[in-house]
Amino acid sequence: MARDNLARVLPVEDSGSHIAPAATEEVLIHVRFFPNSDINSIGEKPASLTANEWYERLLDMARPHYQTFAGGRGFFRIPRPCFEAILKGIA
């Protein structure tokens, strides 16, 4: 039976020579919070918005792309077309 399972294993393609397309088409935004839940820092923030305004805009438009992590951190992994749509209309 073990031989049958081994016979079904296919060789893995060499993935070390290129970067996965999905990884290059995402914008990663790191959010750090103070213990009282105020925003300590947030990446890719336009100069015209406060940290809270930027975070609220990201939640409004990209909530499914947010991941919470331990230690008062979170990440938005936003597809580039969605990120560009979020930036539209910001002065």
* pLDDT at residue 10 in the model: 45
pTM of the model: 0.71
Cα dihedral: 75, 76, 77, 78 (round 10): -170
Residue environment code for 44-63, b if the CB has 16+ CB neighbours within 10 A, otherwise e: ebeeeeeeeebbebbeebbe
Give domain status of residue 30, yes or no.
Answer: yes
Q: Which domain holds residue 33?
A: 23-87
Q: Which residue, chain included where needed, has tokens 């959010």?
A: 31
Q: Is residue 7 part of a domain?
A: no
Tell me the DSSP string of 24-56: HTEEEEEEEE-TTS-EEEETT--TTS-HHHHHH
Q: Residue 90: what pLDDT? A: 86
pLDDT score recorded for residue 1? 46
- The total number of structural domains in the chain stands at 1
In a domain, 10, yes or no: no
